[in-house]
């Protein structure tokens, strides 16, 4: 099974997710070889701007859920967002990610639309833009696509319906079916589509995780961002913390998940999630060394970061963008990878998918 890639079945996946010791070392090494062969040895930067923590949803795990009244709500001003984007462009990051809580008011939709056009304007059309603003109508996804967004991240969080409703309220605002539909709409619109899950959730089993990986494969995603679940004391899921694996176990399992996904989908883009760094200061670099090829340096103005705490101990709260960039650069070079400065680093999988569709 060790040399096998792409066609792993569920039982084989479960076995790989559970590996430890020498077998695990071999799995991680194999994933890195597959990554380099299929996508090259470059790491691509996506400057992350968490532009608003105002959210209409109440996901049971998330620190900025609507029901958490300890959070001070903010909207980063357009000028500050554009300044962060300009920093990304001038430092040859080539792409930014605009992320926020989920709102679907006409004012929010228009604001994002205007921002997309302005970001394109200030960067001579050069900055690539990923959005991560939750579930929206097909019409909104199309409008944003036409205004310049070309990638979209929408984690399914768990592909198992039962588990999904253990970590979300069971009501119309948090519909599992609508989340799946939204992923379909994104694909139809023409985005490079990214999804992902949290690893080590209470009630989650190896079987769920194997099904998640097979779900990604079936959906034929272009990008993936998945990281460890981390508890937050002001959320309802905190009451189940006694069911959790240790943080180190969640971290190790997250790396195994990335490695197995790299074997299953060799040419997609896989992000090294920030949550890895909350457990291990070198967590993201470790992910880059075993199959991930994208990293999202935080460009949110530091004044707002305290209020975008999805989980406890979120890293880089007080580091400004320049510092963040320098420390990352050194660590990536140390890990033996090159940075794809000035390159969009689009998912190779997306490029082949589009070529096939044109035939």
Q: Which residues bind ligand SF4 (CB under 6 A)?
A: 55, 57, 59, 62, 64-65, 101-102, 134
Axis crossing angle, helix 206-219 with helix 247-264, rounded to the nearest 10: 30
Residues of this chain that bind ligand SAM (CB under 6 A): 61-62, 99, 101-102, 132, 134, 154-155, 157, 198, 229-230, 232, 275, 310-311
| Opening angle at CA 188, ends 45 and 62, nearest 5 | 55
Between CA 258 and CA 294 the distance in angstroms is 12
CB of 307 to ligand SF4, least distance (A): 12
CA 150 to chain centre: 15
Nearer to ligand SAM, 101 or 315 (CB): 101
- Contact 96/85 with Cβ under 8 angstroms? yes
CB of 54 to ligand SF4, least distance (A): 9
- Contact 261/214 with Cβ under 8 angstroms? no
Nearer to ligand SF4, 102 or 285 (CB): 102
- Contact 166/61 with Cβ under 8 angstroms? no
CB of 62 to ligand SAM, least distance (A): 4
Contact of residue 229 among ligand SF4, ligand SAM, none (CB under 5-8 Å per partner type): ligand SAM
Q: Spell 56-75 as b/e; 16+ CB within 10 A means b.
A: ebbbbbbbbbbebeebeebe
CB of 135 to ligand SAM, least distance (A): 8
E-only strand ranges, 140-245? 149-153, 192-195, 198-199, 223-228
Residue 202's Cβ-side half-sphere holds a number of Cα atoms within 13 Å equal to 17
Contact of residue 230 among ligand SAM, ligand SF4, none (CB under 5-8 Å per partner type): ligand SAM
For residue 307 the two structure tokens come to: 């209020």
CB of 68 to ligand SF4, least distance (A): 9
- Contact 223/213 with Cβ under 8 angstroms? no
Nearer to ligand SF4, 40 or 169 (CB): 169
CB of 326 to ligand SAM, least distance (A): 26
Nearer to ligand SAM, 134 or 297 (CB): 134
Element (H, E) at 86: helix 78-90
Contact of residue 232 among ligand SAM, ligand SF4, none (CB under 5-8 Å per partner type): ligand SAM
Contact of residue 155 among ligand SF4, ligand SAM, none (CB under 5-8 Å per partner type): ligand SAM
CB of 103 to ligand SF4, least distance (A): 9
CB of 307 to ligand SAM, least distance (A): 12
Helix or strand or coil: residue 313? Answer: coil
For residue 233 the two structure tokens come to: 């004391």
E-only strand ranges, 12-122? 42-45, 47-52, 95-100
Contact of residue 65 among ligand SF4, ligand SAM, none (CB under 5-8 Å per partner type): ligand SF4
Between CA 123 and CA 85 the distance in angstroms is 8
DSSP state letter for 72 = P
Nearer to ligand SF4, 305 or 331 (CB): 305
Contact of residue 5 among ligand SF4, ligand SAM, none (CB under 5-8 Å per partner type): none
CB of 170 to ligand SAM, least distance (A): 17
Between CA 172 and CA 167 the distance in angstroms is 14
Nearer to ligand SAM, 34 or 230 (CB): 230
Nearer to ligand SF4, 31 or 310 (CB): 310
Contact of residue 325 among ligand SF4, ligand SAM, none (CB under 5-8 Å per partner type): none
Contact of residue 297 among ligand SF4, ligand SAM, none (CB under 5-8 Å per partner type): none
In the beta sheet, which residues pair with residue 195? 224
Nearer to ligand SAM, 39 or 229 (CB): 229
């Amino acid at each position: 099974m060790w040399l096998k890639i792409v066609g792993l079945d569920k039982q084989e996946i479960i076995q790989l997710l559970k590996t430890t010791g020498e077998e695990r070392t071999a799995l991680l090494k194999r994933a890195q070889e597959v990554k380099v062969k299929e996508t090259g040895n470059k790491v691509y930067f996506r400057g992350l701007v968490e532009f608003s923590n105002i959210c209409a949803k109440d996901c049971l795990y998330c620190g900025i859920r609507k029901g958490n009244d300890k959070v001070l709500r903010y909207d980063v001003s357009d000028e500050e967002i554009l300044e962060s984007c300009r920093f990304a462009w001038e430092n040859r990051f080539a792409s930014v990610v605009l992320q926020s809580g989920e709102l679907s008011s006409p004012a929010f939709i228009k604001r994002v639309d205007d921002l997309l056009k302005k970001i394109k304007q200030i960067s001579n059309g050069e900055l690539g833009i990923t959005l991560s603003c939750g579930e929206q109508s097909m019409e909104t996804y199309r409008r944003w696509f036409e205004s310049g967004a070309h990638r979209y991240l929408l984690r399914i969080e768990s592909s198992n319906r039962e588990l999904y409703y253990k970590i979300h309220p069971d009501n119309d605002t948090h519909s599992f079916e609508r989340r799946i539909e939204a992923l379909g709409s994104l694909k139809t619109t023409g985005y490079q589509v990214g999804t992902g899950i949290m690893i080590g959730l209470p009630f989650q089993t190896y079987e769920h995780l194997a099904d998640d990986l097979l779900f990604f494969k079936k959906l034929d995603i272009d990008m993936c961002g998945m990281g460890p679940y981390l508890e937050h004391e002001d959320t309802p899921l905190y009451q189940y913390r006694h069911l959790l694996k240790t943080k180190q176990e969640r971290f190790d399992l997250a790396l195994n998940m990335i490695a197995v996904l790299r074997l299953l989908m060799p040419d997609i883009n896989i992000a090294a999630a920030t949550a890895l760094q909350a457990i291990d200061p070198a967590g993201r670099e470790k992910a880059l060394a075993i199959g991930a090829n994208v990293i999202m340096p935080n460009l949110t103005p530091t004044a707002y970061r305290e209020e975008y705490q999805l989980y406890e101990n979120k890293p880089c709260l007080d580091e400004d963008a320049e510092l963040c960039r320098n420390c990352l650069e050194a660590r990536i070079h140390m890990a033996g990878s090159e940075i794809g400065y000035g390159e969009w680093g689009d998912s190779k999988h997306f490029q082949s998918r589009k070529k096939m569709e044109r035939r």
